[in-house]
A and B are shown apart, each in its own frame.
Chain A
Amino acid sequence: MNDMTPTRAEREARLEGMGCKRKRVEDVRFTQGKGNYVDDIKLPGMLHGDFVRSQFGHARIKKIDASKALALPGVLAVITAEELKPLGLHWMPTLAGDVQAVLADGKVCFQNQEIAFVVAENRYITDDALQLIEVEYEELPVIVDPFKSMAPDAPVLRPDLDGKTTGAHGARKHHNHIFEWSVGDKAATDEAFAQAEITVNHLISYHRTHPSPLETCQAIASFDKVKGELTVYGTFQAPHVIRTVASLLSKIPEHKIHVVSPDIGGGFGNKVGAYSGYICAIVASIVTGRPVKWVEDRMENLSTTSFARDYHMTAELAATRDGRVTGLRVHVLADHGAFDACADPSKWPAGFFNIVTGSYDFPVAHLSVDGVYTNKAPGGVAYRCSFRVTEAAYCIERSMDILAQKLGMDPADLRMKNFIRREQFPYQSALGWEYDSGDYHLALQKAMDTVGYRQLRAEQAAKREAFKRGETRDLMGIGVSFFTEIVGAGPSKNCDILGVAMFDSAEIRIHPTGSIIARMGSKSQGQGHETTWAQIIATELGIPADDIMIEEGNTDTAPYGLGTYGSRSTPVAGAAIAMAARKIKNKAQMIAAHLLEVSEYDLEWDIDGFRVKGNPERAKTMKEIAWAAYNAPPPGLEPGLEAVNYYDPPNMTYPFGAYICVMDIDVDTGVAKIRRFYALDDCGTRINPMIIEGQVHGGLTEAFAIAMGQEIKYDEIGNVMGASFMDFFLPTAVETPHWETDFTVTPSPHHPIGAKGVGESPNVGGVPAFSNAVNDAFGFLGSTHIQMPHDAWRLWEAARRLGV
């Protein structure tokens, strides 16, 4: 060795592989305005389409008069359900096994429902034409409260389902009922409650909100009549699924459909589903023979595509007097809006809500969920969470606090007492999951030690006395939340979307000069896949991340995948990447053995190549191997160095974390001020700590917004209220608290690199931390549970109810 030979540490650093805070490659284009989002794409001859939408929450459509619009110069078409009928496209299947009107078929079921699609030369003329379309309505009685949905005399919201006593998920009990889903041992659970020394029972509502990425949903469809080919650019979190669904619906062969997701300006679950805008853009392109662009505006986004939550959870805990939980019983009333367009794996009508046993070792549990229709927008997407996991975490974490209060126990102590212990993993939960790994006691203890939990409690006790003496008008609240996520859908044996199994994929090609192009079935919307996927490959294959190009979103070139949502990319696509890399590595080892004239078994991997065991001077770098793979492969071995892997995970992964929030609430105005927020996340192996921290910051900010005021609200006649950024609470930098992040590392035993996924954890754990802090602040005044959102006026009302 001479002085120029890099040390092992230098060689490793050069790779910028897993564990390093690699700067993002995406940023180079994004910071120069060179991102390529859907609305940036301009095709020759492109038209612009937009919707006429319903004024009413529930009404029969008596007449649509488009004559004035059609007479406006520049207007090419006005499409209504009548035009879609001959194509069989006036209704579309939803991901949840229901159907949804693409354009209103005789009646509207929610305000702003799509009625007609206007296509014109540009968006200005389209907007003018929208004003000229006259729709005559006959108003119908409206249901906005899910608790009134199944009243005997409730109006029939879905006449298309009239008389159907079974739906996609079994029996329907009422004309506005969608499904009942139950899991767990009911008899044993009822018995636990019958025997319980102490029980609590509360209705815990998680209000309706919306993911609201900064870029709305958009698409451009371009149909080439001569070739019979359809190209669709769109804000698709799952482009391959869109291709398959488009083929099934349009009968265009799948190989003649090219779906491309370019850069996506945030998704958070909003861009998983299939929307009327996509279908109408496609139909309009077929009809006009020209490309058609559809771009939602913000009001349309907030009021039509994909709400989240609207879960009303009645949760009961049975426990011993000393705080050992003996049973959990939960019933959920789920408001799905006018169509069940929930974006869950198809067999899971309530998603993975049965993670509601949380981080605790409950001997028995039972859960039942009733889904109902109301006159609200359809959706039910996983807004920055795995399917219905935020709702579940909120439910159990509020319930544990309610129980702690009744027991007179510290909420952290109650959690410690009931945690699944480290040695119990893999752990079978009472509601059917096998948790992969965890060390909950360690995580919560670290969180408590870091924030000085006991001192905070002492300070709070003193402040409460001062409040009682009238010396302060502030209430101090400490919110503890401990969550376990379930992410990485997958396993195909129990997860599919409309029959498409939920695996994911990666294809890696090493070029002769040792650089790489790799493509995945996942699709980044800001998560930084181009950066982190390269880091996995760099570590696995010893090629510097900078020499690796990651490409996603083009269904012509990427292997089939199910896309990015539910924190599934790292658990599934991330695993596929590692597995594909290992296939390459196996072949590389054969080539290296040939080049070094030794047996494969005499070689060992060393950072960026293979070396002969006991003789490290004799080595071949991956770069040298790549050249040989193409130009001098061993006899009998096919040339080239590439691999594809389709990864069907054996299990989900179970990230977890401990969050602590400290807030002060001014009872005179109801304004809550976050004093401190500490988030400890355990997402297993950490691929890029910088990106993990960024994901946690973002998820906590969304959790803060949701807990403290972000809401999609309807008035009693079905008008959607405040669907703009004036009213819909997206905090600015001023309102957003400072975040402290921390971690422990408990790798997933079944994942090739031990990673679990993190993007959604902070939303899952964050919301209960804020809400528990609010409730903790008021608890000593006799309050048990205050419903979210905790905006100022509601907290002021809570204070007043409590007589302060």
Chain B
Amino acid sequence: LQSDKDQPIYIEADAVDIDDRNGTSIYKGNVVLTQGSIVMTADQVTVTQHQEQTDQIEAIGSPVTFQQDTDNGKGTIKGRAKKAEYSANGETLNMIGDAILIQGKDTFKSDRIVYDRARAIVKAGASAKGKERVRVTIGGKK
């Protein structure tokens, strides 16, 4: 949802390592992050906080899963990747490594997907390793 990016972030995990000097909190083990309608699951989520800066979220998993409801009746967006990064109040979600995003009947596959989580739009799928562009399956036809 458009409002998701302004919602508080809740994170549940088995343990957390707080590195006070670097401003990082590394959540480990069965990590579930929620922010508004966003639900992300991962093996590890790192929250990086610096004074007067937006919190940075980085999730690593096998895979990281992501889902979010959309405003415009497009249903729920679902995605997964080896890694996902975003700014707490930012609009862009970077999905890196075997990234897949499913929006209704459309499926996007690439090793990097940039998703606008405020407008529920896939912005780009530039391949990080230069070998694979976005492969789009429209309408779910096999």
Please indicate whether A and B come from the same complex rather than being unrelated chains.
no
